[in-house]
Structure 1
Amino acid sequence: MDTLETREFRYFTAVAEELHFGRAAERLGMAQPPLSRAIQRLERRLGVTLLTRDRRGVVLTGAGEVLLHEGRAALDATAAAARRTRRAGGADRAGGARDRLVLAVKAAASHELLHKLLDAYAAEPDAAEIEVLPSGTCEQGEMLRDGRADVALMHKPFNSLAGFDSEELMTEGQIAILPAGHPLATRTTVSLADVSDLPGLPLARWAHDGTYPPGPGPEIHDQTQLAQLIALGRTMAVFPDSARAWLWAEHTAVPLSDAPPVVTHIAWPAHSRSLPLAALIRTATRL
């Protein structure tokens, strides 16, 4: 039998991520012996070895690496189906209330475009209610995959569009956002080398995949924290040019002469058959 159950994916993914049966069992809220037996049954059913076990711990085999990748995708798809179904059912329970779409956007990016899109779509007949969900630098793809969002504004080269359908909306340059009193704030342009290692003004670090990249800069949790730390002269940041819309008086934006252009796309799950989503995409491409 080739069919795998969601429970089996959850069990195996926990063990594969923890690389320890005891920690995986604790994470799952179950005893270790039944978890070990479940993984052994799974290996027998598939006819492969997924994990090698020795005194040093647990190691994934090549087959185990494949199942971990596929299992994460399957669990994301299951969670996404549940979330989107609940959103659709909410309109039914409300007795004819409007459909609702969740739009994930990178905090502080594409500000003017987002305003235009929301205003234009709201003027459409039978427009769905749009919930705008600000996110971190690279979270939009994950939010589409696990169903927290139905559609997203994503930015190449920072976001990967693999696995999604998308339409290109705009292309813009990048800027360095500096404290207004910094010596480089008087320049008409700066290079990436100019701002990559500024003494006393390290680049801010946003979380990606739940972890922060290495570096001396502060870990940034939201746009307000970032704006305040730039104003205080504690950090700087690189953003698409459209981020000028949220700058404070204590900030200065200087164009980056050699940064790659940022291309904004509207992206959605390739399997989506949502009519409100299709209408939103048509509005976006018209803009």
Structure 2
Amino acid sequence: MAELETRELEYFVAVAEELHFGRAAACLAIAQPALSKAIRRLESRLGVRLLERSSRHVALTPAGEALLHHGRHALDAVGAAAEKARRAGDRQAHLRLVIKPGGDANLLSGILAAYAGRPDARRVDILFGGATDRADHVRAGRADVALLYAPFDDMTGLDHEILLVEGRVAILPPDHRLATRSQVTLADLARETLPRWKGVRWTGAPEAAGQGPEVTDAAEALHMIRLGRTIAILPRSLAQPMHPDLVYRPVTDAPDSELVLAWSRDDRRRMVASFVAAAVEAAGTTRGRG
């Protein structure tokens, strides 16, 4: 069976993404004839045509589309393996935690204090990610642990511990028809316009709800609510602090949200296990006080 070399795959993915040999060659910092020769050699070894090309046009064949899809994942896996190997061999490595701003339910200070008190504690570097890319940081080896919200974040390839289980709230303009109620249900919200969360596959919104503006985080959603373009259903902690111009009502039958600490399923480093244990301990202490 023909084998692929990482460099060949990098060359092909560059051409497939640019659909232009000249631009791909510039990105790769190689000569265009050398790149063209490498792609022809790859097609010959695989026995399939990957690209349809003319003097003015480059397009992917079905085989090329398949190789692009799987090739991206393969290159990501190679990069993650190298990064994780370097991290595993670095005894002085800092622990890297990725969060989204405001996405710690006020638990982070207690978690860091609990971890700092452990004899094997390392320095913790805080990284900020977007609404949907924090799990990717862990899978790619750019972060060791992440604070995520289940079931909204993609947990593929990750293990996790639950730190907090919380209800969800509807956020409404003050003149909304439901604003005078003390609580609402999903049926009450079934025909409301709700935002489309970029990169989020499941939000728990009613199926009949209308599709509102696309947003990437809670701050954008709140802005659109104030403009009267949408309402939103959020985990209670992500709705904090409450905006004085908006109304917050518990959604009594909405699925609970879980704030979790996640790490790579194959990561067995003591540094990570120690941080996870400290986080679970700290979160339990915080809940006990509540």
Q: Structures share a fold, TM > 0.5? A: yes
Q: TM-score, normalised by structure 1?
A: 0.75
Q: Per-residue CA shift, 1:100-157, capped at 9, x if unaligned?
A: 2222224433413434323322332232222333333221222112333211122232
* Higher mean C-alpha displacement, 150-159 vs 227-236: 227-236
Compute the displacement of 1:161 (Å): 1.4
Asked if 1:271 corresponds to 2:266, the answer is: yes
Residue 129 (structure 2) aligns with: 135
Residue 8 (structure 1) aligns with: 8
Compute the displacement of 1:177 (Å): 2.0
Q: Structure 2: which amino acid aligns with 1:49?
A: V
Distance (whole Å) between structure 2 residues aligned to residue 150 and residue 264 of structure 1: 17
Q: Per-residue CA shift, 1:191-230, capped at 9, x if unaligned?
A: 44544654xxx53444329xxxx9542544x554544454
Residue 233 (structure 2) aligns with: 238
Residue 140 (structure 2) aligns with: 146
Relative to structure 1, is the Cα distance of residues 28 and 185 closer, same or farther in structure 2, using a 3 angstrom cutoff?
A: farther
Distance (whole Å) between structure 1 residues aligned to residue 143 and residue 127 of structure 2: 8
- Listed as ranges, the matches of 1:245-284 within 5 Å are 245-284=240-279
Equivalent pair of 1:177/1:251 in contact (CA under 8 Å): yes
Residue 206 (structure 2) aligns with: none
Q: TM-score, normalised by structure 2?
A: 0.74
How many residues align? The count is 271
Q: Per-residue CA shift, 1:45-84, capped at 9, x if unaligned?
A: 4x3426142667422435x455434432333244445656
Relative to structure 1, is the Cα distance of residues 4 and 161 closer, same or farther in structure 2, using a 3 angstrom cutoff?
A: same
Distance (whole Å) between structure 2 residues aligned to residue 24 and residue 192 of structure 1: 49
Residue 62 (structure 2) aligns with: 61
Relative to structure 1, is the Cα distance of residues 267 and 232 closer, same or farther in structure 2, using a 3 angstrom cutoff?
A: same
Compute the displacement of 1:2 (Å): 6.4
Residue 39 (structure 1) aligns with: 39
Equivalent pair of 1:173/1:256 in contact (CA under 8 Å): yes
- Listed as ranges, the matches of 1:1-287 within 5 Å are 4-45=4-45, 47-49=46-48, 51-53=50-52, 57-62=58-63, 64-80=64-80, 99-192=93-186, 194-195=188-189, 198=192, 203-208=194-199, 215-217=211-213, 219-220=215-216, 223-231=218-226, 233-286=228-281, 287=284
Compute the displacement of 1:168 (Å): 3.3
Relative to structure 1, is the Cα distance of residues 2 and 52 closer, same or farther in structure 2, using a 3 angstrom cutoff?
A: closer
Q: Structure 1: which amino acid aligns with 2:153?
A: N
Equivalent pair of 1:204/1:237 in contact (CA under 8 Å): yes
Distance (whole Å) between structure 1 residues aligned to residue 129 and residue 59 of structure 2: 34
Distance (whole Å) between structure 2 residues aligned to residue 275 and residue 66 of structure 1: 39
Q: Structure 1: which amino acid aligns with 2:60?
A: V
Distance (whole Å) between structure 2 residues aligned to residue 196 and residue 108 of structure 1: 28
Compute the displacement of 1:279 (Å): 0.5
